[in-house]
A and B are shown apart, each in its own frame.
Chain A
């Protein structure tokens, strides 16, 4: 019998940790899909390294969420035994790899945000979150550098690489607004000095993204219509497919270990 999904008591702090953990797990899983398929061995390793950094971030955040929740859940249960609707990640993270340009633009949008986010979270009054942020920031700073350098080279590269990278920016732009969303659950934590207020990061994010786009001879879309829903479990059709692969072993053979 397939393992059933767990129940999660989503207090604001548990939800806060899960949202960040889910971003890292899902984006990390997406990157891991490149393993053995990247355009060059060098980049295969680079993407796998980033995936492993993100997986590590997800693990500490899940463990912390489990500790705060105190209901006997753990990092594995959060990852393997929650349904699509229980996932709280950004829609950006679950978007398919598509081509190399989409993968790198997705990484660039996210890393430009994550690096600012972790840096701000280092000031959190919650010492565990501050410590997780301090470790993650060094990783995301490198992810940002790596993805920026690629976006510059792809945008300002050949005619085809430019076309593909511009298409990736146009396709993924509508998923960037969600990063700066705040709901009531998070507002309380922000006011208490525990959570980061992402709205304060937006001008910095835009500046970074616009700077790299200009250097890459790419145009940012004018549209400010943004997709939303991921933070509340309303996902694109892609996440279900991703989870069916990610969870198949634990769902089919509950508690299997090797």
Chain B
């Protein structure tokens, strides 16, 4: 029910062993309190999370899909930015 009274919210969940909140979906709710409860009821039913963030969808500024050529393609030809040309000495251990 996408009505002006129930705007869209994006839901981020931090899982048991995760360090960062990850986007897991969206929902409609009248306000932040109800959005948090709905997120709990929809996205943590199987013990998925220990922390929830809800963010009004209209607070997110997104890149324009039609600009993906300009935005992302220039990076594709720059393989030297990947750290695959270095030999990591054994003493360094796990990086």
Contacts and interface: CB of A to CB of B under 8 A. Distances in A.
Interface of A: 39-43, 45-46, 49, 142, 145-146, 149, 153
Question: Is chain A's binding surface mostly helix, strand, loop or mixed?
Answer: helix
Top 3 closest pairs, chain A to chain B, by CB: A42-B38, A46-B41, A45-B41
A95 B50 CA distance: 36
Contacts of A41: 27
Nearest to B27: A42
A163 to B, nearest CB: 17
Interface of B: 1, 6, 27-30, 33-34, 37-38, 40-42, 45
Contacts, number: 30
B45 A145 contact: no
15 contacts: A39-B1, A40-B6, A40-B28, A42-B27, A42-B28, A42-B29, A42-B41, A42-B42, A43-B38, A45-B38, A45-B42, A46-B37, A49-B45, A149-B33, A153-B34
B62 to A, nearest CB: 23
Contacts of A43: 38
A146 B6 contact: no
A247 to B, nearest CB: 28
A47 to B, nearest CB: 9
Given A42-B28, A46-B41, A149-B37, 7 more contacts: A40-B6, A41-B27, A45-B42, A45-B45, A49-B41, A49-B45, A149-B33
Residue of A39, A40, A42 most packed against chain B (CB within 10 A): A42
A153 B30 contact: yes
